[in-house]
Structure 1
Amino acid sequence: MPDRPVLDRAARTRLWWEIGILLALSVGRSALYSVLALVQALTREQSLGDQSTALNPSADAQAFWDVLYQFLAVGFGLVAVALALWLLWEPGSSAFRRIGLDFRHPLGDLGKAALLLVVIGVPGLALYAGGRALGITVQVDASPLDPSWFTVPLLLLAALRAGLTEEVIFIGYLFDRLRRLGWGWWTIILSTAGLRAAYHAYQGFGPIIGNFAMGVVFGWCYRRWGRVMPLVIAHALIDIVAFIGYPLAAALWPGVFAPAPTPTPTPTPTP
């Protein structure tokens, strides 16, 4: 991707305000709450391995309202992505084309996404399992929605939202803005990877490490490819596997992917 010109003092100040406002509206706010959730979890009497968290919690017990709230959550979640793209837009320069969020190279993007799925997805699953075994990762309930007709479409939309939100903001937007501020490439890659790790801190230390590594790999790939689309596809595929494949994994490895059933106490006979 081409370098952007370094700005003067006034433009740099305005750009820092822009970055701060967008992050406060989206992933930065979530990262702060995520870190606080981890700190709170560490202060409980239970170990991290005995705690759990839900990635796609039900919004309402009634099916109709649950579906409505879930769809609204996806829609409003994408507003931050739209804002990032709008801020990147310049006269005569499409933000979609600049960060490579388009369909100009569908086969190449799919091939690169498949490669990233293998490089990031499989080790990430192993890292999660290892973290659970060591008791440093909370139990992540990836798809606690009821098994109804709307469950799979909602989980697919949730995976797409996660891919667009994280890759457009962490990679497409921040790389452009921080580069304009004169930051070096590896400083940008490591900083955005650290923010991505903080964004997932509520899941425990295993996902912190895994998402930091994911951020480094994705940042390096974006530096080489200049396209966000393969990253969005790979991220969405990883989440689809996690969200929809989770019930199968929970059935096969209940001690790792689902909490162990609590034994029913044997009633004491009354003398």
Structure 2
Amino acid sequence: MSTDVTPAPAVPDRRRVRAEIWIVLGLSLGQSAVYAVLSLVVKLTNGGLRTSTATLNSSRADQQWLDLTLQVLSIVFALVPVFLALYLLAGRSIGLDRRSPGRDTATGVLLALVIGVPGLGLYAAGRALGVTAEIVTAPDTVYWWTVVILVAAALQNGLLEEVVVVGYLHERLRDLGWGMWPVIITSALLRGSYHLYQGFGQAIGNVVMGLVFGWWYQRTGRVMPLVIAHTLLDVVAFVGYLSLGDALGLR
């Protein structure tokens, strides 16, 4: 008779898990949230949000080769927390794979439409009410490689936010015994907090996005459609602003 006994799954050390969460967030979007709050305070004390500007993807140097180098390095180093989160979750799937490319792409497109179309209205309303800063998503100086960098930045944002704030954080909070909705709400509030530099309107919009994305992840266990949706939203925002900015008088 065999005496082999299947070992019980290891019980996570909750104190260690909490420390790990703080470290990962402190190196990534938790740090961004702190700076976003401070940026919001500066805007509110310097004339308010109506007259403020939130600039994304700005030029980093006057020399073309140095600007490109700094842009690439910024994207590469911003992805380090993504690899750290995946490393810490080794052996656990968060659905960041090519198992269902067709379904993931279709779902990503649908989610991008669900979030993006109302998001445009929310931005316009926020600007009219003076609770959202003017958002500039492309640099003033444009080179032959600018569009490529903007697309790469959009992909970096999609990976960083969805892997860390959804895949990683959801899994780790569940390890701590949190229920589904506390996890979803906490993740969504974090997403809103690091967008506060854009104003209250955009922060609220990102909380709603976080609720939808968090619910979807809890339902499916797949982060890939969220990465696709987020990347598409940012590509449209970044490249669309660059393409239409002059025509609409935005640049």
Shorter-normalised TM-score: what interval? Answer: over 0.9
Structure 2 partner of 1:58: 59
C-alpha offsets along residues 202-225 of structure 1, whole Å, 9 cap, x if unaligned? 000110110000000000011111
SS of alignment partner, residue 158 of structure 1: helix
1:147-226 counterparts in 2 under 5 A?
A: 147-226=142-221
TM superposition outliers: structure 1 runs of 4+ over 3 Å: 5-8, 247-254
How far, CA to CA, are the matches of 1:78 and 1:86 in structure 2?
Answer: 13
Specify the code of the residue in structure 1 equivalent to 2:32. Answer: S
CA deviation after TM superposition for structure 1 residue 252, in Å? 5.5
How far, CA to CA, are the matches of 1:100 and 1:229 in structure 2?
Answer: 6
Percent identity over paired residues: 51
Specify the code of the residue in structure 2 equivalent to 1:214. Answer: M
1:108 aligns with 2:127: no
How far, CA to CA, are the matches of 1:128 and 1:31 in structure 2?
Answer: 20
How far, CA to CA, are the matches of 1:247 and 1:68 in structure 2?
Answer: 20
Specify the code of the residue in structure 2 equivalent to 1:62. Answer: Q
How far, CA to CA, are the matches of 1:161 and 1:233 in structure 2?
Answer: 11
Q: 1:204 to 1:6 in 2, by over 3 A?
A: farther
Contact 1:6 1:181 in 2 (8 A): no
Equivalent residue for 2:129, pick from 131, 134, 140: 134
Specify the code of the residue in structure 2 equivalent to 1:41. Answer: K
SS of alignment partner, residue 130 of structure 1: helix
TM-score where L is the length of structure 1: 0.86
CA deviation after TM superposition for structure 1 residue 250, in Å? 3.4
CA deviation after TM superposition for structure 1 residue 248, in Å? 4.3
CA deviation after TM superposition for structure 1 residue 47, in Å? 2.5
Specify the code of the residue in structure 1 equivalent to 2:89. Answer: L
Structure 2 partner of 1:266: none
Structure 2 partner of 1:235: 230
CA deviation after TM superposition for structure 1 residue 173, in Å? 0.2
Structure 1 partner of 2:6: none
Structure 1 partner of 2:31: 29
C-alpha offsets along residues 135-161 of structure 1, whole Å, 9 cap, x if unaligned? 111111101152211101100110000
Specify the code of the residue in structure 2 equivalent to 1:22. Answer: V
SS of alignment partner, residue 104 of structure 1: coil
SS of alignment partner, residue 140 of structure 1: strand
Specify the code of the residue in structure 2 equivalent to 1:233. Answer: I
Q: RMSD value over aligned CA atoms?
A: 1.5
Equivalent residue for 1:123, pick from 118, 121, 130: 118
C-alpha offsets along residues 72-106 of structure 1, whole Å, 9 cap, x if unaligned? 000000001000000001xxx2x4xx000000000
Structure 2 partner of 1:72: 73
How far, CA to CA, are the matches of 2:165 and 2:231 in structure 1?
Answer: 15
Specify the code of the residue in structure 1 equivalent to 2:76. Answer: G
Specify the code of the residue in structure 1 equivalent to 2:53. Answer: S
How far, CA to CA, are the matches of 1:243 and 1:139 in structure 2?
Answer: 14
1:74-93 counterparts in 2 under 5 A?
A: 74-89=75-90, 93=91
